[in-house]
Structure 1
Amino acid sequence: MTLKSTLMGAVALTALAPMAFADGHSGERGRDGQLNIIYWQAPSILNPYLSGGTKDLESASMILEPLGRYDETGALVPFLAEEIPTVENGGVAEDLKSITWKLKEGLVWSDGSPLTSADVKFTAEYCMHPEGGCAQGAKFDGVESVEAVDDLTIKVTFSEAKPNPYGPFMGGQSPIIQAAQFADCLGARAPECTEANFNPIGTGPFVVTDFRPNDVIQMAANENYREEGKPAFATVNFKGGGDATAAGRAVMETGEFDYAWNMQLAPDVLAQMAEGGKGTPISAFGTLVERLEMNLTNPSPDLPPETRSTVAEPHPFLSDENVRRALSMAIDRELLVEVGYGQAGRPTCNLVPAPALYASDNTECLTQDIEGAKALLDEAGWTDSDGNGIRDKDGVELSILYQTSTNAVRQDFQALIKDWWSQIGVETELRNLDASVFFGGDPGSPDTFQKFYADVEMYANNFDGTDPQNYLAAYRCGNEPKPSSQWQGENINRFCSEEYDALLDELAKTGELEKRGEIAAKLNDMLTKDSMTIVPLVDRGRVSAASTTLGGVVLNVWDSELWNVADWYRIKE
């Protein structure tokens, strides 16, 4: 099968028809009053290019939009673009080295000014600026140039054939930003543009009227939104903070809020809340994996920031693969699922658990092996030489600072894992941080997951769309967060492998779907079972909660949960 025929076949099933009103009839914009949303991880910025935090990406998706999105089935659908470019419709070049997008006619920003291809080109320049720190840099992997052909036409050229050219401007992680608003925010100045980062001008269904970082966002219907009669809600109260328990109760028990994100709660707790009758849990499986990240660099506060951000100073004990492997072997993933997620979780050894085409058949981590972990550490020379219960070697003790965000399920996981690690002679200090800080991306904070000033940290994230190429490209050498990138970058472990990068390049040139699956599985295994740089724990079904009076909600695990908020409406009794 040729690269051309594969790409044509992969996108041929895409439904390109615009969505109808979800409530079956049109009406006045803003007819349903206020929408109340609660994200217990509070947004801290509304610029997706300066944060990898899900709560920031999703809140911003109500305001900023990409050229195309992924729907609830993973299919590509146009948003600002007229259609999804393919080889068949002429939008993707025969040699797969370029993709040409056509904007819909008459698009305007919320301030009434026209959106043109110049804004799209600027967005690429903003993220690809060599002095900047773009959190979504992997989306532009392999981009050679972005050209504004005319006011409505954008041509993206790649350095090599790109069988999956839907990285730039596709999905909630890569929206279009207004060139006029961000003109003075390129490179190192990006984090300094507070007004633009907190109050972006967008094309989405809502506009920001007030943003208090780590607290609340007030929004109003975008009067210049392109679809007549949408959004149905006149205003939005987007509350952040608290915890998953309080958020779930606010929807399902008290009815104070209409939608609560990320119900990371024990199964029995969710069931009890649903008995309140005001709302119901909604769930779907995708690619969201709760994992442990192993720090390959020395996080000692005695070292300068630049040193702590690179493998120039390797971690004193996690640089030993045997230690990382033993830590994984000690974990009972089945029990973690039972305690934390029930039917909304599945134990996994993979960073990429889906779609099936890309998932490795690796299952060896699913069986807990405490004795095997002890034996592995013994063989590697890690023994308890002084009888204090902690293994050591060459004067270095296996003493771990293990951090994550504050969350009931995560703290349960921490307690269990600490106990298992103590059984193999590893000392563990637990640390939990406010999610708004941990996932916030503030370059001045020492507590962000990007800086990784700990030995092990735990969180979950996923990739938009159905192809993991850009997600796996995050671990390319050079993508590590560092002072010169404003601490942005997805390679938080500081993993670097020439073999891995070569496989990434091969994936980028491979069009045959089965072969792409094989390569992606190899990349997954290099990060997980082969090196234990990333230790997957649970394949999490995404669980949120919606009011019984809220219509139009379609839970989407391939893009922002708020991807179709323009279609939400109030169910009339």
Structure 2
Amino acid sequence: MLDEKALREWVRSVTRGETSRRDFLRTMAALGVAGPLANSLLAAYAPAAAQTKASADDFMPTKRGGGGKLKLLWWQAPTTLNVHLASGGKDYDASRVVYEPLAALDGDANLVPILAAEIPSLANGGLSKDGTTVTWRLKKGVQWHDGKPFTADDVVFTWEFAADPATGAVTHRTYKNIKRVEKIDDHTVQVVFPEPTAYWFDAFVAGRGQIIPKHLFKDYTGDKSRNAPYNHKPVGTGPYKIVEFKPGDVVRYTINPDYHVPNRPFFDAVDMKGGGDATSAARAVLQTGDFDYAWNMQVEKNVLERLERGGKGRVVVWPGRLIEHIQVNFTDPWTEVDGERSSIKVPHPFQTEELIRAAYAKAVDRRTVAEQFYGRAGQASSNFIVAPPRYASPNTSWEFDVEKAAALLDQTEWKRGSDGIRVKDGKRMKVVYQTSINSTRQKTQAIVKKAFEKIGIEVEIKAVKAGI
């Protein structure tokens, strides 16, 4: 969400000729608004000013700082500033302000270099023809916030840290299948895979690719990883330095005057406040104007529209990768093995069956959830990859049909009992459906529960506080 008053003033100044279209687009770029979206906003508020075709230079800032303080509101509060030990997207986002990857993806899913000097390719020799090695050339002159130089040693160490099972890193799956990462020289590393790997840019790229400093974490590897003081007081290479972190509450950042990208960042300071709920977060931007931007607005359609009429802010919607979905446990949560429930040693009694999962898919009313609860922010989909548009497949489809869902279950060995719930070998077909406390999600749970019980599945609803 963007501050409505400020947005209107910027556009009025463009219309009056006091601010150039280029400067408007630069300001929006500094706010993190992609070029196509910025042009859409300009077209909505000042059509005449939007006619000129944009160039790459339109989005380039001309100086570092001067933007004051940016106030962000995440209703799920961060608990750590080490992405490799994160417990959710809030931790990824909070740590990314300080740490950086070798490369990231822009709004059109193109790789762009961050700590890398260039993106590896066949043409520049960065990618091997057999698909087993990737050579990253690192940007020179980059410093950690404490003044130490960023080198290839930090990249190698980050792999070692995340790939070590004893670390318990949430990014482990990204790095565990790498055969080795070799330092060629201080500014060159080579990643070696055991077999041809198409998705070579998972490692060291985007959120999971954030590089941590070897000189500070070298004594906190493996089972010592969670004892590192730098999990709460990070020292990165990013545009902002940490000022204060209160886990579960707030993170305060200040500008890095030695940032390696010229004329960036725009804001002098950033406050990232966490906690509360989606509705109060929306109110803080749209109605009271206490914050500049609020994240992940899972607020009911009519509530969001009413708050928007308050005139302090504007809801901006664009397709992204965060798809609301139901995750299915393939292990048995009811059986304990060696002191552990949901052990991979014991498969789930029925969710591993394809027919049952197919029945689930037909019993979820995606359209009602999307249109009635999310409004213009929702779109029913059968895909996880929905953006950018060129990656959204037209070859998949979904169908909501409770009768067909029941017919699929009738083909299994799970038969309805006297109360309508399906049973096999004396065991009832029961699921626990859990999500965070949020009115939109609770209404979604109610719709799914009703349909599932019609087809013979008992559903226990559970909701936990979003901060947890």
TM-score scaled by structure 1? 0.68
Greater gyration radius? 2
Q: How many Å apart are 1:123 and its aligned residue?
A: 0.6
* Partner Cα separation in structure 2 for residue 222 and residue 90 of structure 1: 33
Contact 1:244–1:262, Cα closer than 8 Å, also in 2: yes
Contact 2:174–2:203, Cα closer than 8 Å, also in 1: yes
The 5-angstrom pairing of residues 61-460 of structure 1 reads 61-140=96-175, 142-193=177-228, 195-300=229-334, 302-306=336-340, 308-310=342-344, 312-354=345-387, 356-357=390-391, 359=393, 361-363=395-397, 366-385=398-417, 387-437=418-468
Contact 1:67–1:78, Cα closer than 8 Å, also in 2: yes
Contact 1:36–1:259, Cα closer than 8 Å, also in 2: yes
Q: Deviations over 1:143-196 (max 9, x none)?
A: 222111111111212222334432221112211100011112222222232x12
Q: Deviations over 1:24-68 (max 9, x none)?
A: 5325x3x33322100011111111111251111111110000111
Q: Deviations over 1:70-93 (max 9, x none)?
A: 111211111111111211122223
Tell which has more relative contact order, 1 or 2 (C-alpha 8 A, sep 6+).
Answer: 1
Q: Deviations over 1:420-473 (max 9, x none)?
A: 112222221111112232xxxxxxxxxxxxxxxxxxxxxxxxxxxxxxxxxxxx
CA shift in 2, pair 1:257/1:380, >3 Å? same
AA aligned opposite 1:423: K
The 5-angstrom pairing of residues 483-494 of structure 1 reads none
TM-score scaled by structure 2? 0.82
Q: Name which of 59, 71, 92 aligns with 1:36.
A: 71
AA aligned opposite 1:379: Q
1:338 is paired with a residue of what secondary structure?
helix
AA aligned opposite 1:209: V
Contact 1:85–1:91, Cα closer than 8 Å, also in 2: yes
Gaps of 5+ in 2: 1-55
Contact 1:400–1:429, Cα closer than 8 Å, also in 2: yes
1:347 is paired with a residue of what secondary structure?
coil
* Partner Cα separation in structure 1 for residue 391 and residue 73 of structure 2: 35
Moved more, 86-95 or 416-425: 86-95
| CA RMSD after TM alignment | 2.4
Q: How many Å apart are 1:342 and its aligned residue?
A: 2.3
Gaps of 5+ in 1: 1-18, 438-573
* Partner Cα separation in structure 2 for residue 148 and residue 225 of structure 1: 24
* Partner Cα separation in structure 1 for residue 173 and residue 337 of structure 2: 28
Higher helix share: 2
Contact 1:112–1:224, Cα closer than 8 Å, also in 2: no
* Partner Cα separation in structure 1 for residue 201 and residue 149 of structure 2: 24
Contact 1:63–1:207, Cα closer than 8 Å, also in 2: yes
AA aligned opposite 2:225: A
- The answer for the alignment partner of 1:563 in structure 2 is none
CA shift in 2, pair 1:305/1:290, >3 Å? farther
* Partner Cα separation in structure 1 for residue 165 and residue 442 of structure 2: 39
CA shift in 2, pair 1:159/1:319, >3 Å? closer
* Partner Cα separation in structure 1 for residue 358 and residue 421 of structure 2: 17
* Partner Cα separation in structure 1 for residue 249 and residue 364 of structure 2: 36
* Partner Cα separation in structure 2 for residue 349 and residue 232 of structure 1: 39
* Partner Cα separation in structure 2 for residue 317 and residue 103 of structure 1: 49
Q: Deviations over 1:91-116 (max 9, x none)?
A: 22343322222222211001111111
